[in-house]
A and B are shown apart, each in its own frame.
Chain A
Amino acid sequence: MIALLMRDLRLAFRAGGGFGLGLAFFLILAVLVPLGIGPEPQTLARIAPGILWVGALLACLLSLDRIFALDFEDGSLDLLATAPVPLEGAVSMKALAHWLTTGLPLVLISPVLGLLLFLPGEAYLWLIVSLALGTPALSVIGTFGAALTVGLKRGGLLLSLLVLPLYIPTLVFGAEVVSRGAMGLAVDTPLALLAGITAGAVAILPFASAHVLRINLR
């Protein structure tokens, strides 16, 4: 399974692998919002937590359909399903690889983009913490969506429609953590709920995704 993770990471970094797609999107969004809204620091500071979270979410969504579609097209998904690796493990590794190439870079670059949006100083810590806790859920839920739509021609639209509602709790609580942090309020409750969603998704969804994949490969 480590071999699968290493292969996916290597593929992501090679030409045409899609690494940086989400990152570039996130960057463009954070640069364009001040241009569109206007440069008043108070306005930007107020909407910064929401913008940054929505941006991270959409950036994650952008690369979801690659998780299984490429493997399905070249036949490696069939071969992986007949390999001695449990499919649940393979799915988890795929989700982990997606997080390492999409979610983690977003977490690391978010403070810089916070600066562009005049995010108040107290909120930086909570921005990083909430993204670090929330983006794994985005990857795992997205992997489930990708498993559901694998094999469908042009499944990207259906994938977005299926996955976006499932992303909403993470978005609500993640953005709430950052806005409360920015106002200097206690963040315990939304942070606990955010962590709970991630823990639940990581625990349950790989099994659901593997089952769905088996059905889709028939």
Chain B
Amino acid sequence: MGLNVRDLACARGGLAMLEGVSFSISPGAALVLRGPNGCGKTTLLRTLAGLQPAFGGEVDCPPEAIAYAAHADGLKATLSVSENLQFWAAIYGTRDIDTALEQMNLRALAGRAAQNLSAGQKRRLGLARLMVTGRPIWVLDEPTVSLDVASVALFGDVVRHHLASGGMAVIATHIDLGLPEAEILDLSRFKARLPEFGVGDFNEAFL
């Protein structure tokens, strides 16, 4: 159990963005990814989530362990908060959405259509989805965008609770989540060198 990444390379548009990324997380631990915009945080997270194949190296974790949360929350505007959560709970084969509503402070909004939520409330609903997946490894891409200070603290508590119950988290974020125990990995160290095209390589680029 755990997430082990060895010498991973990730590519976007066929060009390597990151190479030689290695880390390992054991149950109860979190990893915070940092790095400037465009350095490949999202690409790395999508590779971990299995949305794109690794360019090199390997990701070693049980395939059914990862819950991925992207920039977009995957909410349906015309469904209510609880209908959105119930759908994802049914997809992941879990039933309980009450804990998630309670922990993300969405109880009062349960009957409201997602299109009538504020940006921060939508984000909280998107993060509540993680809780109904019942999966141990959370892979989060900028989870705190548009959250207010109180909600960031709320989310920090939720992550800490998840870690305390043996979960893991990989989080790309620029702000402090209040997780002092989390390890920090700066991705700018792993930036891939662009291949140098010589005259001989020119035609190969089109093959």
Q: Footprint of B on A, CB under 8 Å? A: 2-4, 7, 10-11, 14-17, 73-76, 78-85, 217-218
Contact = CB atoms under 8 A, between A and B. Distances in A.
A74 B91 contact: no
A84 B52 CA distance: 16
B121 to A, nearest CB: 15
A3 B90 contact: yes
B50 to A, nearest CB: 6
B79 A74 contact: no
A74 B74 contact: yes
**In terms of DSSP, what is the predominant structure of the interface of chain B?**
loop
Nearest to A10: B79
On chain B, which size bracket covers the interface? 20 to 34
Contacts, number: 67
Contacts of A73: 72
A81 B51 contact: yes
A16 B68 CA distance: 28
B50 A85 contact: no
Contacts of B74: 74-76, 78-79
A78 B68 contact: yes
B68 A15 contact: no
Interface of B: 49-53, 64, 66-79, 83, 87-88, 90-93, 129
B78 A11 contact: yes
A85 B72 CA distance: 20
**In terms of DSSP, what is the predominant structure of the interface of chain A?**
helix
A218 B52 contact: yes
B70 A84 contact: no
- Please provide the 6 A-B residue pairs with the shortest distance between their CB atoms, ordered closest to farther: A75-B72, A3-B90, A76-B74, A14-B78, A218-B52, A75-B74
Nearest to B91: A83
A14 B77 CA distance: 10
11 contacts: A7-B87, A11-B79, A15-B78, A74-B74, A74-B77, A78-B51, A78-B72, A78-B74, A79-B129, A82-B66, A82-B68
A74 B70 contact: no
Contacts of A218: 51-53
A2 B77 CA distance: 20
A11 B51 contact: no
Contacts of B67: 82
Contacts of B75: 74, 76
Nearest to A70: B76
Contacts of B69: 79
A82 B72 contact: no
